[in-house]
Amino acid sequence: MSLKEARTYGSIGAVLSLLGGLIPRVGLLVTIAGMVMTLFAVREISNEFKREDIFRSYLVALILLLGAFLVLIIAVLFGIGAVVFKGMPFRAMEEGFWALRHIIATFLVGAFLAWILFLLGSYYLKKSYEEIADEIGVDVFKTTGSLYFLGTVLMIVFGLGALLILAGKILEIVAYLSLPEKVENGEG
């Protein structure tokens, strides 16, 4: 495979992972398919330059990001489960706000742990994209990684982080479309 195929896989994967959140019912599957295609693209770039660390950083990022989503889903399910199975809405009316402390605490702890995993995952994504930019010379990859990381940092403080991550997703598409078909310096 060549960088041409990495460009195709990466750009389609980035588009799918961006649009997956907008598609009802099967959006999660579309997002995962996009992530896998992007993983294939990074693998091809890594192989082209004989730099296993590029792929390894991206794989660690992907595992951490998926783990963060899993932690967040579990926290939400535990919170909902406490409400449904223990009749919390009815007890909350009797006992006041303190009856909801377990639900709120579970969600906050889960959200914080998920944020830590998102932060670590976005760091490794940034690292992988910086290494790709250094090898290929497409600086949009560096910008994409920086936007992901900064967006994740700001996510816990401001909703502005979500806008930066969205901008990073859009630039990720541009970065993959900017890949050259062949390596100019003859390393590939």
- 114 vs 101: CA distance, rounded Å: 19
Task: Assess if residue 111 is contained within a domain.
Answer: yes
- Domain of 102? 3-177
Whether 56 has a pLDDT exceeding 90, the answer reads: yes
pLDDT at position 95, please? 59
pLDDT band for position 19 (cuts 50, 70, 90): very high
Task: Assess if residue 185 is contained within a domain.
Answer: no
pLDDT per residue over 85-103, tens digit each? 666 555 555 555 665 777 7
| Overall average pLDDT of the 51-60 stretch | 97
Task: Assess if residue 127 is contained within a domain.
Answer: yes
Task: Assess if residue 11 is contained within a domain.
Answer: yes
- 170 vs 176: CA distance, rounded Å: 10
pLDDT at position 187, please? 47
Task: Assess if residue 170 is contained within a domain.
Answer: yes
Task: Assess if residue 169 is contained within a domain.
Answer: yes
DSSP state of 1: -
pLDDT band for position 24 (cuts 50, 70, 90): confident
pTM over 0.85: yes
How many domains would you assign to the chain?
1
Task: Assess if residue 88 is contained within a domain.
Answer: yes
Task: Assess if residue 16 is contained within a domain.
Answer: yes
pLDDT at position 188, please? 43
- 80 vs 116: CA distance, rounded Å: 22
